[in-house]
Amino acid sequence: MSDFHYSNGQLCVENLPLSRIAEAVGTPVYVYSAAALRHNYQIFAGACAHMDALIAYSVKANSNLAVLSLLASLGAGADVVSGGELERAMRAGIAPHKIVFSGVGKSRDEMRKALSAGIYQFNIESAPELVALNDVACAQNTVAAIALRINPDVSAGGHEKISTGKAENKFGVNLDQARDVYKQAHDLPGIEVTGVDMHIGSQIDNLAPFETALLKGLDLVLDLRRDGHDIRTFDMGGGLGIVYNQDEDTLPTVADYMDMVRRHTKGLDLKMIFEPGRAIAGNAGVLLSRVQYVKHGSARNFLILDAAMNDLLRPALYGAYHAIKPVAEPKDHQRETYDIVGPVCETGDTFANHRRLSVMKDGDLVAMLAAGAYGAVQAGQYNTRPLVPEVLVRGGKFDVIRKRPALEDILSLENVPTWL
């Protein structure tokens, strides 16, 4: 049974009706299932049990301290892309030796922090970044372990805004330049070359691009070893997709993915690093929202929700699909077609067009599914709408793991100069 299911006429998370959370915390609110997070992590851990592997959960997908603490308790490492994420991961109890630091634009300050913390590996994306890290490491009298993120020039499908593995993307070093940059790295006293890294995109729905990129990466590993580098780690990045639309999406399983990786890396004596984000957090959360008004326009019926694009940006930004379910289980077969929108003053503030739902009325609750990854973390306060709170459910109980800021919290950061 899914951790989000109907029971006694109510959509529940684990054993808790979502309506109870709406009453206690108000809407909109993100709701996560601890069981689902645990389950998703364990699928990954189980699938690479007999591999020398590090699962470095990609913090950007959902960086709430409670979510990170839960994953830390299961043994997860972390993939971080900022000093802020590094701080979160460490506060959540993720051991520094399980943390990798990715991203094209790490600042020297962030490098300093990560070096002092003793993280496992920097994933370096350019020659100038390498030089900067060398400077910082030398100044701290230490040596930074690095993998170079290669850009394997593989088209991974998915949305153009989240595809990263093509030569024209800003990420990584193209394969034809990689060996030169490795040579440069080898000659720098503050750098120790330990691995190869890649990340080709997100919400990838088949194994072919991963396999193509992996094979290119492994060819490079062999070349680099011939060049005299001691390559011990291979970071596959993240990218495995999840089901957003039950009727249309077919996805490879984590086990299939790991089998493919195992097949190609067998005997190569590489520690494999995986950076799953969406595959861990995505289907573990929903955005719960209340219908403010049902508006019967002359061309369309609109469900105007109290959630908006600032709370869940994915549909507006990527045209992403999220299944939307009424919290009250439909009792009959009567359906109505709705455009489901938020209150923000932009037409882009639309969650879905032409959705068939049971007949809704003002005040009804709806849940947007698979919103656990890239939901709350991408929320903003546009239209001075306070950041949406987050709740973690365990069994029949829940905790608020980020509260809704008061309007005063937002306004108090601003300052009106005395000359006004």
* Contacts with ligand LLP, residue ranges (CB under 6 A): 58, 60-61, 79, 102, 162, 199, 202-203, 237-240, 275-279, 314, 318, 373-374
Distance CA 5, CA 126 (A): 46
Residue 12 is a catalytic residue: no
Distance CA 331, CA 312 (A): 28
Helix, strand, coil percentages in the chain from 3-state DSSP, rounded to 5: 35, 25, 40
Least distance (Å) between residue 128 CB and ligand LLP: 19
Q: Which is nearer to ligand LLP, 33 or 123 (CB)?
A: 123
CA atoms within 13 A on the CB side of 137: 22
Q: How far is CA 157 from CA 236, 280, 375, in A?
A: 17, 21, 21
Distance, first Cα to last Cα, the chain: 60
Q: Which is nearer to ligand LLP, 79 or 306 (CB)?
A: 79
Q: Amino acid identity, residue 288?
A: L
Q: Which is nearer to ligand LLP, 55 or 231 (CB)?
A: 55
Least distance (Å) between residue 412 CB and ligand LLP: 30
Q: Amino acid identity, residue 355?
A: R
Least distance (Å) between residue 411 CB and ligand LLP: 29
Q: Which is nearer to ligand LLP, 217 or 277 (CB)?
A: 277
Least distance (Å) between residue 318 CB and ligand LLP: 6
Least distance (Å) between residue 364 CB and ligand LLP: 27
Q: How far is CA 105 from CA 79, 119, 133, 186, in A?
A: 15, 17, 11, 21
Element housing 134 (H / E): helix 127-139
CB 28 within 8 A of CB 18: no
Distance CA 192, CA 304 (A): 55
Helices (H), 227-294: 254-265, 278-281
Q: Residue 72: CB partners within 8 Å, gap ≥ 6?
A: 89, 92, 93, 94
Q: Which is nearer to ligand LLP, 146 or 327 (CB)?
A: 146
Determine which one of 12, 48, 138, 345 is catalytic. Answer: 345
Least distance (Å) between residue 346 CB and ligand LLP: 19
Q: Which is nearer to ligand LLP, 206 or 358 (CB)?
A: 206
Could you list the active site residues?
345
